[in-house]
Amino acid sequence: MYKCISFTILICKTINVLIPSNKTPNLSEMYTNGDREEEIKAFDKSKTGTKGLVDSDIKTIPKIFVRPPEEILENFSIEGEKLGIPVINLKGLENDEEHERIVNEIKNATEKWGFFQVVNHGIPLEVLDKTIQGIRRFHEQDPEIKKEFYSTDSNQVVYTGEYELDKTKAVDWRDSLTLNKCQIDHIDPQLLPTICRKEILDHTNNVLKLGNNILELLLEALGLKPEPNMKDLECDKGWACRYHYYPACPQPELALGILKHTDGSFLTVLLQDQLGGLQVLYNNQWVDVRPVPGALIINIGDLFQ
């Protein structure tokens, strides 16, 4: 089985400016009885995700999105508001002195946080910005076009809300476009949505290189260099990319974009837009990951740990 690198993009939307299409069903009428099984069926049948709910101008979110009472009472306020995950400057990586500094900073950040942000990582800001723009175009396009990619199966290219609708306590308030290369050798570019195909290809090509560089530095921080190398570990053979979109929620106090979790991958390279919203758990405190222009967030996954 391939070790898997995961790429994630987070796009938040605070204001709903889209006018519902006359092809979009009135989903508010589909969620009236509060029965979980029926709500799940209605949500899956619509194939329009949480964006479809917002476009239908609902005022009350379906109960499948409402967190259990004990979780709603959980404190997600930022007690550690003065804390911030480390930001590591990768500039000068080829210089021996700077290389040593970078390795040491990555080692310390990994040991203490399990997260860090990187700047001057070699991926042009234009590529990151265009990726966010392209993914936003996909999620905000005519829902009838998006439906062509809708599935809850683990296909190569999938648009969906939540994969396991019937297995979660509360469904995540988000929509996702997912590319999955963890079990195959190649993803056909023609399978990608036309509206963001170029942006996805540019993004994945760049982030794969960065992911391998970060893994090399992590191995060096562990004292495992020069062996093994990334080719031996085949860490770049399997990867998944998830482009998350979070439309404005009419009852944000009841739902979460993504429930608290750990990443099962080897490594996650994450890009969030400038609205932010990502939090990490540090010493039993939820800490905001403040957006840094051009930065990428590195999350050490369960496989690596």
What per-residue confidence (pLDDT) applies to 111?
93
What per-residue confidence (pLDDT) applies to 115?
94
Q: CA 276 to CA 274: how far, in whole Å?
A: 5
What per-residue confidence (pLDDT) applies to 104?
97
What per-residue confidence (pLDDT) applies to 79?
52
Q: CA 190 to CA 149: how far, in whole Å?
A: 13
What per-residue confidence (pLDDT) applies to 165?
60
Taking the CA atoms of 140, 174, 149 and 27 in sequence, report the sign of the dihedral they define: negative
Mean pLDDT of the chain, nearest integer: 82
On the question of pLDDT at 25 being above 90, the answer is no
Task: Tell whether omega for the bond before 226 is within 30 degrees of 0, i.e. cis.
Answer: yes
Q: Please state, as a whole number, how many other Cβ atoms lie within 10 Å of the Cβ of residue 70.
A: 8
Q: CA 73 to CA 59: how far, in whole Å?
A: 22
- Nearest Cα to Cα of residue 52 among 173, 229, 223, 194: 173
| Alpha-carbon separation of residue 231 from 10, 204, 222, 301 (angstroms) | 29, 18, 17, 19
Instruction: Identify which of 33-47, 135-149, 267-281 has the greatest average pLDDT.
Output: 135-149
Confidence of residue 24 (pLDDT cuts 50, 70, 90): very low
Q: Which residue has the tokens 């396009």?
A: 141
Can you list the positions of beta strands (E) in the chain? 4-12, 87-89, 115-119, 157-160, 175-180, 238-246, 267-272, 279-282, 285-288, 296-300
| DSSP single-letter state for residue 189 | G
Taking residues 105-131, report their average pLDDT: 96
What per-residue confidence (pLDDT) applies to 233?
64
The phi, psi pair for 205, rounded to 5°, reads -60, -40
Taking residues 275-301, report their average pLDDT: 90
Burial label, 283 (beta-carbon count in 10 A; 0-12, 13-18, 19+)? exposed
CA dihedral 262, 300, 117, 213 (to 10 degrees): -140
What percent of the chain stands above pLDDT 70?
76
Task: Report helix, strand or coil for 115.
Answer: strand
Tell me if 254 sits within 8 A of 262, measured CB to CB.
no
What is Dmax (Cα atoms) for the chain? Answer: 65
